[in-house]
Structure 1
Amino acid sequence: MAQSTTGSLAQAQSQSGDLFARDRVVAVRDRPRPDYEALGVPVGTFMAYPRLQADAEYNDNIFAVSNGADGDWIVRLKPEISLESGWSRHALAAYARATISRYQDFDGENSEDYGFGATGRLDATRGSNVAAGVDYARLTEPRTSSNAPASTREPISYDMSSAYLAGTRSSGRVKLSARADSRVYDYKDGVTLGGTIVDQDNRDRTVSSLTGRGDYAVSPDTAVFVQLTGNSRDYDTATSALLPARDSEGYEALVGANFEVGALSRGEIAVGYISQSFDEAAYDEISGFGARAQLEWFPTQLTTVTTTASRTIEDAGIAGTGGYLSSAVGVQVDHELMRNVLLNANLTLAKDQYEGIDRDDDRLTASVGATYLLNRVVGISVAASHFEQSSTGRGGGSDFDVNRLSVSLVAQY
């Protein structure tokens, strides 16, 4: 006799304890590998995981220019340590990491990035929890960024501080969640080869957002949801004496579905409307179709194919425009050739359409790589990637491409 929907729901809930769990299959990258996982160092009821990665990379266009490209070898050291609780309920974690980059010929590109942060989760009941996190990072803006100013002697660096507070409650078929985020950006001024200051204060801003979401399980494997996010983007200063600051308020309204199809695929698809309105009349409102999606396909137990798509509104760091519509689609393939040999390939296409100026940017990123885990302490990775940008219109964009080859050695404990 066929089982009723209510009976199926009850059975699924009794087995997993969560009607909204989509964990029937483990993706290649997430699969446990006990013989190759770090043991960690006990610190009371916590475990500490130290890690050091050393990269050797060749980049054939380090300044991301259209003509006269310069190539260079880069060595990067990436020390990191994380601390994780081992409690049966609740969770607490912290991390500290750094990236130290040294160029062989162009030492003006050298950088020292670092960051640290902590997250915690309080499990109030079986289906309810509250989570929070804080982070701080000193970062270097890549030369390939469309917002990076051209012709600065050194790449632009900036500080980013972020914090979030989130809560989730599940009861039967219904799950409600909310999240508040805040990010503060503080950019450092650049200097041209001629010694002229390139003011970056006009990019300093605080971005705040509040998201609410409601999910309803229509079956053990499928849930529908509504999600609404409101945001506020507050800039510290104007872009120039003639152009006002890009303060704005906006929202994203999405409806979608979250699902799992047996052991074959799972994912989440959402579509809706996005809008960003600026306080000053100098900038036009940006609005239109919005979307976010991620689909995982498991053709075999050893292969995971992940497809992503998005359409969002992003801030611009270019005079004359408040922001742009960013559309992106990507596909990544991960394959477990052997238990300790992983292969991967990625292809991403993106398009940025600026509001208020005549400029569209098209970007393509393609990469292939492999990871060989020698044992639980040492691993080696190799990768090759290609990035290209083509810009149309009279808004100051450029056409260029960048190719990279890299070898990484990872030591962990």
Structure 2
Amino acid sequence: MRIIALSAAIPLALVLGATAKADQSGRDTGSLPATTRSIIDSRPSQPVAPTGPGSASPEAPSASSHVLVPSIVQSILFDDNIYATRRNKTSDFAYVVRPDLSFAASGANYGFQANAFAERRQYFEQTRESQTNAGASLGGTYQFTPDSQLQARASYLRGHEERGSGEEAFFRTDRPTAFNQFDGAVALNNRYGPLWTSLGLAGLYVNYENPKIGGVTIDQSYRDGGISVANGRVGYVVAPLTSVFVEVAGNRRDFKEDYFSSDGYRVVGGVLLEPGPGARVKGEAWGGFMRQTYKGATLSNISSFTYGGSLSFLVTNDLTFTVEGRREAKESGLNGGVSLIESYGGGRLDYQLMPNLFVGGGVTYLVDSFKNADRRDHYWSPLASLKYVASKNITLGLEYRRLAFHTDDPLSSQFQRNVALASVTARF
């Protein structure tokens, strides 16, 4: 049986569905991609090129500024089922330390952000599960003219596959499988009065190390591969900070074992809500049609509807709501190779109880529908968090996530997993 596990890197902060990025007051600022993501999100999604109207941001500063923020997070983690098994569960504590360095610079016609982190997760008893992760990213925007801008980003992530996610539902290695992931994107955005256009390119590449199963080294080189996307949008501004758009995007999923490679496209329409003064909703949502054509004989071509997006709502001055979702065609090593449709949705509420006390809660849900395999995998994951800002430099946190996995395949194992985290974050 051929097995391919196209798993994205997941640092510890995402195990619990990390809270959104927060400013120094502790308020979650609605950085949506981190608000609801969890270990269930394992196979890499298509990289996305930044797109927008290309107009000067109403919040652009008139003078240059530079901010450097070093920080360190120290945590104690408890996992009651670290191997994600149905029976004979193994629980353990882990000590986690994560130094982080962030830098931001901005001026009248540019903005730049960079971040780097390293993370050590050391289990008390099950030391084979211990791991070291690291990553770095940078991105920015340059405004050529008030109506023309260039956006770009690049990132690197060294991580390990999480137990119980994606292809890990089919087999278990002796130790978590390590991998390196590279991601990059660039987009050129232009505005012509109320009309705007955006052209973008994005790419992602994953390289896996060879793990062991029962002490035997397993060659994982066939899992190495990349995803490239080219997209174009045409939008129209219908109200301040609000646009409708249509998009055509083509993708190539290209793996070392060409059997799993595919080509595809999507045609969608949507709405884009820009940040700015007085904006209470930001983000985008879209829907339409997708098609993916696979090379392998056992991988069915997919023609179906698709959707995606992420939105952040400032419901009141004390309450924020974030929601995201997507529907994509992917591939799996199940039964020697099958295609699948992955549907994902998640939402989160964060409420400021007191000036320095925040509570949050939410849920994520993911379904993998495998073609020609008579199988559907379901992941439910509620979460809760509590954050106390002791000072402008110290933040205390408690987080809890429950992950429940169920599959229609009677021969596969179900499992439930509870993870709790207590953390102290120090900013300098």
Match among 121, 127, 152 for residue 107 of structure 1: 127
Task: Answer yes or no: is the 8 Å Cα contact 2:25–2:356 preserved in 1.
Answer: no
Match of 1:410 in 2: 425
Match among 318, 336, 353 for residue 320 of structure 1: 336
Match of 1:146 in 2: 166
Worse overlay, 398-407 or 86-95: 86-95
Deviation at 1:122, TM superposition (A): 1.8
Match of 2:199 in 1: 178
Match of 1:129 in 2: 149
| Alpha-carbon RMSD | 2.5
**TM-aligned CA distance change 1:343 to 1:99, over 3 Å:** same
**TM-aligned CA distance change 1:30 to 1:171, over 3 Å:** farther
Deviation at 1:109, TM superposition (A): 0.4
How far apart, CA to CA, are the structure 2 residues paired with 1:103 and 1:344? 27
Task: Answer yes or no: is the 8 Å Cα contact 2:27–2:358 preserved in 1.
Answer: no
Deviation at 1:275, TM superposition (A): 1.5
Deviation at 1:209, TM superposition (A): 0.6
Task: Answer yes or no: is the 8 Å Cα contact 2:82–2:163 preserved in 1.
Answer: yes
- Counting only pairs closer than 5 Å after superposition, residues 351-366 of structure 1 correspond to structure 2 as 351-366=367-382
Deviation at 1:367, TM superposition (A): 0.6
How far apart, CA to CA, are the structure 2 residues paired with 1:92 and 1:297? 25
How far apart, CA to CA, are the structure 2 residues paired with 1:114 and 1:174? 41
How far apart, CA to CA, are the structure 2 residues paired with 1:320 and 1:144? 19
Match of 2:114 in 1: 94
Match of 1:290 in 2: 306
**TM-aligned CA distance change 1:90 to 1:258, over 3 Å:** closer
**TM-aligned CA distance change 1:263 to 1:45, over 3 Å:** closer
How far apart, CA to CA, are the structure 1 residues paired with 2:354 and 2:303? 47
Match among 87, 95, 116 for residue 67 of structure 1: 87
Give, as a single letter, the amino acid of the residue that structure 2 aligns with 1:300: T
Deviation at 1:382, TM superposition (A): 0.3
Task: Answer yes or no: is the 8 Å Cα contact 2:273–2:283 preserved in 1.
Answer: yes
SS in 2 for 1:108: helix
Deviation at 1:263, TM superposition (A): 6.8
- Counting only pairs closer than 5 Å after superposition, residues 326-365 of structure 1 correspond to structure 2 as 326-365=342-381
Give, as a single letter, the amino acid of the residue that structure 1 aligns with 2:205: V
| Larger gyration radius, structure 1 or structure 2 | 1
Q: Percent identity?
A: 24
Give, as a single letter, the amino acid of the residue that structure 1 aligns with 2:246: V
Give, as a single letter, the amino acid of the residue that structure 1 aligns with 2:221: D
How far apart, CA to CA, are the structure 1 residues paired with 2:90 and 2:150? 50
Match among 118, 128, 146 for residue 138 of structure 2: 118
Task: Answer yes or no: is the 8 Å Cα contact 1:349–1:363 preserved in 2.
Answer: yes
The answer for unaligned runs of 5 or more in structure 1 is 1-27, 38-43, 239-244
How far apart, CA to CA, are the structure 1 residues paired with 2:231 and 2:286? 14
- In the TM superposition, what whole-angstrom CA distance separates every residue of 1:277-312 from its partner, at most 9, and x where no partner exists? 012333210221101144444442211222333211
**TM-aligned CA distance change 1:402 to 1:198, over 3 Å:** same
The two structures have a TM-score, normalised by structure 1, of: 0.83
How far apart, CA to CA, are the structure 1 residues paired with 2:345 and 2:360? 17
Match among 201, 225, 236 for residue 216 of structure 1: 236
Give, as a single letter, the amino acid of the residue that structure 2 aligns with 1:381: G
How far apart, CA to CA, are the structure 1 residues paired with 2:388 and 2:66? 29
Task: Answer yes or no: is the 8 Å Cα contact 2:187–2:201 preserved in 1.
Answer: yes
- When the two structures are aligned, how many residues end up with a matched partner? 371
Task: Answer yes or no: is the 8 Å Cα contact 2:351–2:358 preserved in 1.
Answer: yes
- Counting only pairs closer than 5 Å after superposition, residues 189-338 of structure 1 correspond to structure 2 as 189-192=210-213, 194-220=214-240, 222-237=242-257, 245-258=259-272, 268-338=284-354
Give, as a single letter, the amino acid of the residue that structure 2 aligns with 1:85: A
**TM-aligned CA distance change 1:403 to 1:410, over 3 Å:** same
Give, as a single letter, the amino acid of the residue that structure 1 aligns with 2:424: L
SS in 2 for 1:147: helix
SS in 2 for 1:300: coil
How far apart, CA to CA, are the structure 1 residues paired with 2:398 and 2:150? 39
How far apart, CA to CA, are the structure 1 residues paired with 2:185 and 2:269? 23
Task: Answer yes or no: is the 8 Å Cα contact 1:290–1:310 preserved in 2.
Answer: yes
Give, as a single letter, the amino acid of the residue that structure 2 aligns with 1:158: F
**TM-aligned CA distance change 1:358 to 1:213, over 3 Å:** same
How far apart, CA to CA, are the structure 2 residues paired with 1:45 and 1:293? 31
Q: Tell me which of the two structures has the higher relative contact order, counting C-alpha pairs closer than 8 angstroms and 6 or more residues apart.
A: 2
How far apart, CA to CA, are the structure 2 residues paired with 1:275 and 1:410? 45
How far apart, CA to CA, are the structure 1 residues paired with 2:285 and 2:182? 30
Task: Answer yes or no: is the 8 Å Cα contact 1:203–1:317 preserved in 2.
Answer: no
How far apart, CA to CA, are the structure 2 residues paired with 1:155 and 1:295? 33
Task: Answer yes or no: is the 8 Å Cα contact 1:47–1:86 preserved in 2.
Answer: no
- In the TM superposition, what whole-angstrom CA distance separates every residue of 1:325-359 from its partner, at most 9, and x where no partner exists? 11122221111112221111011122110123222
